[in-house]
Amino acid sequence: MALLEIKDVTSGYGDVQILWGASLSLEKGKLTCLVGGNGVGKTTLLRTVMGLIRPWSGVILFDGKEVNKLSAYTKAEMGLVLVPEGRQLFTDMTVHENLEMGATNQRARPNFQRNLERVYEMFPRLKERSRQKAGTLSGGEQQMLAVARGIMAEPLILIIDELSLGLAPVLVLQLFEGLKLLRQEGITILLVEQNVQLALTISDYGYVLAEGKVKMEGPARKLIKDKHVRSTYLGL
Amino acid sequence: MQQLNLLLTSLPDGLLLGFVYGLAAMGLTLIWGVMNVINLSHGPIITLGMFSTFFIYTRLGLNPYIGVLPIALVGLLLGILIYTAAVHRVINGPHLSSLLATFSVNMIIIGLGTAALTTSPYNVDFSAGSFKLGNATILGTRIIAAIVTLAFTGGLYLFLYRTRPGKFIRAVANNRAAAELMGVPSTRILALSFGIGTMLAAVAGGLIATFFPFSILSGSGYELKSFVIGVLGGLGNPIGALFGGLILGILEGIIPAFIESSWVPVIEFVLFIFILLVRPSGLFGAKK
- Length of chain A in terms of residues written: 236
Q: What is the 3-state secondary structure (H, E, C) of chain B?
A: CHHHHHHHHHHHHHHHHHHHHHHHHHHHHHHHHHHCCCCCCHHHHHHHHHHHHHHHHHHCCCCHHHHHHHHHHHHHHHHHHHHHHHHHHHCCCCHHHHHHHHHHHHHHHHHHHHHHHCCCCECCCCCCCEEEECCEEEEHHHHHHHHHHHHHHHHHHHHHHHCHHHHHHHHHHHCHHHHHHHCCCHHHHHHHHHHHHHHHHHHHHHHHCCCCCECCCCHHHHHHHHHHHHHHHCCCCHHHHHHHHHHHHHHHHHHHHCCCHHHHHHHHHHHHHHHHHHCCCCCCCCCC
For A204, the 3-state DSSP assignment is coil
Cα B129 from Cα B107, distance rounded (Å): 37
**Given this model, what pLDDT does residue B28 score?**
97
**Given this model, what pLDDT does residue A154 score?**
93
A97 Cβ under 8 Å from any chain B Cβ: yes
A89 Cβ under 8 Å from any chain B Cβ: yes
Comparing C-alpha atoms, which of B74, B113, B13, B83 is closest to residue B203? Answer: B74
Kindly calculate the radius of gyration of chain A based on its CA atoms and give it in whole angstroms.
17
Strand A213-219: give its sheet, edge to edge: A80-83, A157-161, A188-193, A31-35, A205-210, A213-219
Predicted ipTM?
A: 0.89
**Given this model, what pLDDT does residue B109 score?**
97
Is the per-residue pLDDT at B88 higher than 60?
Answer: yes
Comparing C-alpha atoms, which of B246, B232, B207 is closest to residue B15? Answer: B246
pLDDT digits (tens, 9 = 90+) for A112-153: 999 999 999 989 999 999 999 999 999 999 999 999 999 999
Mutate to test the interface with A, among B170, B176, B181 (most CBs of A within 10 A): B181
Cα A79 from Cα A106, distance rounded (Å): 10
Domains in chain A, start-ordered, CATH in brackets? 2-232 (3.40.50.300)
Among the ranges A85-89, A180-184, B166-170, which has the highest mean pLDDT value? B166-170
Cα B36 from Cα B166, distance rounded (Å): 17
A80 Cβ under 8 Å from any chain B Cβ: no
Residue with the bigger pLDDT between B126 and B204: it is B204
Is the per-residue pLDDT at B230 higher than 90?
Answer: yes
pLDDT digits (tens, 9 = 90+) for B238-283: 889 999 999 999 999 888 888 888 999 999 999 999 999 999 888 8
What percent of chain B lies above the pLDDT cut of 70?
A: 99
Question: Distance from B189 to chain A by nearest Cα, in Å?
Answer: 13
pLDDT digits (tens, 9 = 90+) for A16-67: 999 999 999 999 999 999 998 888 899 999 999 998 889 999 999 999 999 9
Enumerate the domain spans of chain B. Answer: 2-116+137-278
Is the per-residue pLDDT at B288 higher than 60?
Answer: no
| CB within 8 Å: B182 and A153 | yes
Question: Distance from A229 to chain B by nearest Cα, in Å?
Answer: 34
Cα B121 from Cα B213, distance rounded (Å): 6
Cα B182 from Cα A102, distance rounded (Å): 6
**B2-116+137-278 CATH:** 1.10.3470
A79 Cβ under 8 Å from any chain B Cβ: no
Residues of A in contact with B183 (CB under 8 A): 73, 76-77, 104-105, 153
B63 Cβ under 8 Å from any chain A Cβ: no
Please provide the average confidence, as pLDDT, over all residues in chain B.
93
**Given this model, what pLDDT does residue B1 score?**
64
Give yes or no for a contact between B26 and B199, defined as CB atoms under 8 angstroms apart: no
